[in-house]
Amino acid sequence: MEVLVPIADMRQWSRAQLQRGARIGFVPTMGALHAGHLSLVQRARQLADRVVVSIFVNPTQFDNQQDLATYPRTLDEDLALCRQAGVDVVWTPETAEMYPDGYCTFVEMYGPLTDKLCAIARPGHFRGVCTVVTKLLAVVRPDVAIFGQKDLQQALIVSRMVADLNLGVEIVVAPTVRDRDGLALSSRNRRLTPAMRAKALALPRGLELARRAYRGGETESRKLIEIVAEEVLVNEGVDLDYCDVVSLPGFQEAERADDRCVLAAAVFVDGVRLIDHVPLAGEAIPVAIDDDERA
């Protein structure tokens, strides 16, 4: 496995692969890798001849400087995981090269994908994501790039952006990987103490309760949202950032839920922000729910 840092080295490697006719699969990350990222790598390996993982904590997508400063950074572990997973290249560009003095070009999206949920809760976040993803794709020049369903809004935005800008990259959305207790894997989970983690489980539990209610015939989105809110807000130190029912593929808010809808929610657990997206027609989340207590 090669570890590349300068943009020119990454560009040269990709050009050589393209000249050989090799298909490049790309998994962009901010590091602190976990089994969710490795499932994206696995998918990339199925779809391409060579796999590139980028590790870059992108400052332009953080609306909160404290969040950027405390974002977990575990490069040595990340490299070991990538090596084991059969990654061909890990690219770790420097911030000073990605955003040199005088940098002033950004990619911004308008419309239904960026007028709700994380786009409102984190102003400027998707402008930073669109900008950095465009830059990463321009250097790596992959045939296919893989994004996780946990960050569904991001994945839909990137797909739209790639189509709108004719970037010629296939975007694949891979399923969310969960821990055995149902919590969606996220680099931010590393910041949870055991007590915080116990409270964080209210998120997948609330989403699963709402999913079950929908399967049981409840289609009023307001009621499904209330189920999530009630489950989450009884925990001290847990705040609901947002919860909504959105319809795919347009990502419109839906008053009435149907099988095309996804429940999207973000919470703060003692200041750590966690998000999740659950298709209402999808599989059950493996959470412990005491049905007797709720009967």
Total chain residues near ligand PAF (CB under 6 A): 10
- Work out whether 132 is an interface residue with ligand PAF (CB under 6 A): yes
DSSP three-state, residue 147: strand
CA angle, residues 47, 78, 69, in degrees to nearest 5: 120
The owner of tokens 């993803």 is 133
37 given a catalytic annotation? yes
| Nearest to ligand PAF of 29, 235 (CB atom) | 29
Tell me the residue type at 170.
Answer: E
Nearest to 107, CA basis, from 146, 58, 72, 142: 58
The owner of tokens 């493996």 is 286
Q: What share of the chain is helix, strand, coil (3-state, %, to 5)?
A: 45, 20, 35
| Nearest to ligand PAF of 79, 132 (CB atom) | 132
**Residue 206 tokens, joined:** 């609330």
Helix and strand counts by DSSP (H, E) for the chain: 12, 10
> Bridge partners of 252?
247
DSSP three-state, residue 270: coil
> x-or-dash pattern for ligand PAF, window 4-43, by CB under 6 A?
------------------------xxx-------------
Give residues 261-280 in contact with ligand PAF (rule: CB under 6 A): none
CA angle, residues 25, 27, 32, in degrees to nearest 5: 150
Quote the least distance from Cβ 290 to ligand PAF, whole Å.
34
Stretch that binds ligand PAF, among 4-12, 129-137, 239-247, 278-286 (CB under 6 A): 129-137
> x-or-dash pattern for ligand PAF, window 140-169, by CB under 6 A?
-----------x--x---------------
Give residues 55-94 in contact with ligand PAF (rule: CB under 6 A): 58, 61
Residues forming contacts to ligand PAF in the complex (CB under 6 A) are 28-30, 58, 61, 129, 132-133, 151, 154
Residues with active-site annotation: 37
